[in-house]
A and B are shown apart, each in its own frame.
Chain A
Amino acid sequence: MLAVQDLYLSFGGIKALQGVSFAAQPGQITAIIGPNGAGKTSLFNAISGFYRPDNGKVIFDGQDITALRPDKRAELGIARTFQNIALFRGMSVLDNIKLGAHTRLKAGVFDALRYFGRAQAEELELRADIEQRVIEFLEIDHIRKAPVSALPYGLQKRVELGRALAMRPRLLMLDEPVAGMNREETEDMARFILDVQEEFGTTILLVEHDMHLVMDICTHVVVLNFGAQIASGPPETVRMDAAVIEAYLGAAA
């Protein structure tokens, strides 16, 4: 589904990524973990198109997308959320989610100025679709008209997931989906992530510090440290890996 091959990225003297290679299997949940500053978010930004890698390729569905702009990658079916929520604060929950469907809608400027006719038909169809696929699915029907800036943190995270789901993505990238959440909120989010995988068959790639979540729901784990990939494999083997333990806990004396 998604393959990253030998990715190098540096900012001046800082080597953010040094030869990262992995593949996310279709319909599976892959996690990227590593201590702070390991390059996880840089890797995400390279995959979604904000950073152009110095070397290496990003392959999505057999197509080399390394040179594509972020909006073109979105059209191919890559959706993501951000570590520090990046919702549109001036809008309602509903409008935020509707924006997720932007590339699927067709109305041009002249349809939009007229509204009645093509644009209205499209809007109502979209509304029915996201009500069912997103709002009901994520259990946010009570806040659909609320401005996002008035929502608590956990709900904002959920709305951001909703906006990504409205894109009907084939690859869903979640940057720390449960950061700063309490146990109950984390469990809710884990359930939603598993539901997305099950219901829509979406391939999921996530960055996360919560090891319980990673070990519980992921089938493949990639470990980064100082931009280098130090381990990759199923959770059980990664957990026992000497290099991983050293990166997280320090070397045994």
Chain B
Amino acid sequence: MITGNLKTSYGADEQVLDNRWKRLFLFSAVLGLGGIAGFGNDYIILIACQMGIMVIAVTGVNVVIGYTGLMSLGHAGFVAIGAYATVIFHNAAGGIIPDGVLTLVAIPFAVAVAALAGIVVGLPSLRVKGLYLAVATLSANFIILFLIEESFSAPWTGGMNGINTPTPNLLGWALDTRREQFILIAALAVLALLGAQNLFRTRVGRAFIAIRDRDYSAEILGISLYRTKLTSFAISAAYCGLAGALFAYFYARILPEQFELQLSLMLVAAIIVGGMGRMMGPVFGVIIIVMVPEAIKVSFGALAGGGAELAMIRAPLQEIAFGALIVGFLLFEPFGITQIMDRALRALNRWPFARG
């Protein structure tokens, strides 16, 4: 309940968690992650790991699409670069760098390579916008996968057949179970979200939003469109690179086909459902995008008892539900679940004096 503005310093006024419902929400979210790590069964851990990796990638997509307003359909390419860079680094530096340190170097390496790729792929954004940029980044996705699949890179990437991935090892602690990997993924996902949140409290992130809202106005304030757009692409690709590195560690083998257009579209769909240009958008979006197919699978199994014929109907049904979900959000809640959460938190904060 709001009883007045009791802030006495600008520091207090600039806080992100400015009411106790938000603090409670964050506290319970962190507690929930701890609960999953401690008590979740294998199935829950598996789903949670997939979500964690997705959240990092979607946060990256959010930076470019949600905050900078540049359409991109190529982000699966950056995830691929992150994943392959990690594996290649492990294979190349395996004998030279001790095992316990290798992961700690490989992840930043993958992030840096992805960021560089992001700058290159972002170059068209200096010239084109909207649909044209979507097509340009889309082709970047194909080019990246082509380069990975081709025979000249096959010795390093395994070509079409994919490549086995290493086990992460943090200073002697080998994360060889999914539960241990979940701790790494969850910790990095939380850090990634915090980083993104911080970004948009400062000049760097504000400049992104300025370009999204009105680019010529941003320029008149001294924001270099060239540098800012490329920075946005680099940060975004870096996030996807991190997701890619974790992806490689999490699965036993990576294949080029895992990083096709399908994944790029999933990332964009997640941000539409979650809420573009909002910090918690990726989290809500990924929860929905991952949970809805799972829920359909589980409820179908319960209803039909796992008959082979009914399982045949399930797959297309899942696709239809997925499509309907996105169209539904675009029509009825274009700012995604974040908007719904905002309304709920505001109502809680004002209760019992006013609703909404």
B201:A98 contact, CB within 8 angstroms: no
| Interface presence of A86 (CB below 8 A) | yes
Q: Which residues of A lie under 8 Å from residue B210 when comparing CB positions? A: 88, 91, 99, 102
Q: Would you list which residues of chain B between 218 and 243 have a CB under 8 Å from chain A?
A: 218-225, 231, 235
Indicate whether A109 sits within 8 Å of B10 (C-beta atoms), given known contacts A90-B209, A167-B221.
no
User: In the bound complex, do residue A107 and residue B202 qualify as a contact, i.e. CB atoms below 8 Å apart?
Assistant: yes
What are the interface flags for B192-214 relative to A under an 8 Å C-beta threshold, 1 for contact and 0 otherwise? 00010011011111110110111
Q: Which residue of A lies closest to B212 (CB)?
A: A90
Query: In the assembled complex, how far is the CB of residue A160 from the closest CB belonging to chain B, in whole angstroms?
Result: 9
B198 close to A91 (CB less than 8 A): no
Question: In the bound complex, do residue B199 and residue A99 qualify as a contact, i.e. CB atoms below 8 Å apart?
Answer: no
Return chain A residues, CB-CB under 8 Å to B222: 71-72, 74-75, 102-103, 167
Whether, in the assembled complex, A163 has its beta carbon less than 8 Å from a beta carbon of chain B, the answer is: yes
Q: Mark A111-147, 1 if CB is under 8 A from B, else 0.
A: 1111100010011100110010000000000000000
Write out the residue numbers on chain A whose beta carbons fall within 8 Å of the beta carbon of B212: 90
Q: CB distance B235 to A88 under 8 Å?
A: no
Please indicate the chain A residues that have their CB under 8 angstroms from the CB of B203 in the complex.
Answer: 98, 101-102, 105, 107, 112, 122
- A99 to B203: give the CA distance in the assembly, Å: 7
Option from B14, B218, B235 in Cβ contact (under 8 Å) with A124: B14
Q: With the chains together, A128 CA to B14 CA distance in Å? A: 11
Determine if B206 and A102 form an interchain contact, defined as CB atoms under 8 angstroms apart: yes
Once A109-B204, A119-B202 are accepted as A-B contacts, the answer to whether A131 and B213 lie under 8 Å apart by CB is: no
Selected from A74, A88, A112, the residue in CB contact (under 8 A) with B205 is A112
Name, among B206, B212, B221, the residue most crowded by chain A CB atoms within 10 Å (CB to CB).
B221
Q: Are B213 and A90 touching (Cβ within 8 A)?
A: yes
Number of interface residues of A (CB under 8 A): 42
Q: Among the listed B14, B201, B214, B224, which residue makes an inter-chain contact with A88, where contact means beta carbons less than 8 Å apart?
A: B214
B256 part of interface (Cβ distance < 8 Å): no
Return the contact of B198 from the options A70, A82, A108, A113 (Cβ within 8 A): A113
Q: Mark A69-99, 1 if CB is under 8 A from B, else 0.
A: 1111011000110100011111100010011
Tell me, yes or no, whether A100 is within 8 Å of chain B by CB: yes
Residues of chain B lying within 8 A (CB to CB) of residue A108: 204
Q: Are A109 and B231 in contact (CB under 8 A)?
A: yes
With A80-B220, A102-B207, A105-B203 given, is the CB distance from A86 to B214 under 8 Å? yes
- Judged by a CB distance under 8 angstroms, whether B91 is at the interface is no
Q: Which residues of B contact A88 (CB under 8 A)?
A: 209-210, 213-214, 217-218
- Contact across chains for B219 and A70 when beta carbons are under 8 A apart: yes
Are B204 and A103 interface neighbours, CB within 8 A?
no
Q: State whether B14 touches A107 (Cβ < 8 A).
A: no
CB of B216 within 8 A of chain A? yes
Whether B220 and A111, one on each chain, are in contact in the complex, defined by CB atoms closer than 8 angstroms, is no
CB closest chain-B residue, reference A127: B10
Which residue of chain B lies nearest to A86 when distances are taken between CB atoms in the complex?
B217
B172 within 8 A of partner (CB): no
In the bound complex, do residue B204 and residue A114 qualify as a contact, i.e. CB atoms below 8 Å apart? no
Across the interface, name the chain A residue whose C-beta is closest to B207.
A102
User: How many angstroms from the CA of A117 to the CA of B235 in the assembled complex?
Assistant: 20
Contact (Cβ within 8 A) A90 B235? no
Write the chain A residue with the least CB distance to B234. A109
Q: Does A229 contact B (CB under 8 A)?
A: no
**If the complex has contacts A86-B216, A91-B209, are A115 and B198 also in contact, measured as CB distance less than 8 A?**
yes
- Provide the residues of chain B in CB contact with A122, threshold 8 Å: 202-203
Q: A163 with B221: in contact, given A107-B203, A109-B204, A115-B198 (CB under 8 Å)?
A: yes
Given A74-B221, A112-B199, A127-B10: 9 more A-B contacts, CB < 8 Å: A69-B224, A70-B220, A71-B220, A82-B217, A87-B217, A102-B207, A107-B202, A107-B204, A112-B198
Interface, chain A (partner B; CB < 8 A): 48, 50, 69-72, 74-75, 79-80, 82, 86-91, 95, 98-103, 105, 107-109, 111-115, 119, 122-124, 127-128, 131, 163, 167
**Top 7 closest A-B pairs, CB basis?**
A74-B222, A115-B198, A103-B222, A88-B213, A86-B217, A113-B195, A112-B204
Q: Can you sample 29 A-B contacts with CB below 8 Å? A: A48-B220, A69-B224, A70-B216, A70-B220, A71-B221, A71-B224, A86-B217, A88-B210, A88-B213, A90-B277, A91-B209, A95-B206, A98-B206, A99-B206, A99-B221, A99-B223, A100-B221, A101-B203, A102-B221, A103-B222, A105-B203, A108-B204, A109-B199, A112-B202, A122-B203, A123-B202, A127-B13, A128-B10, A131-B10
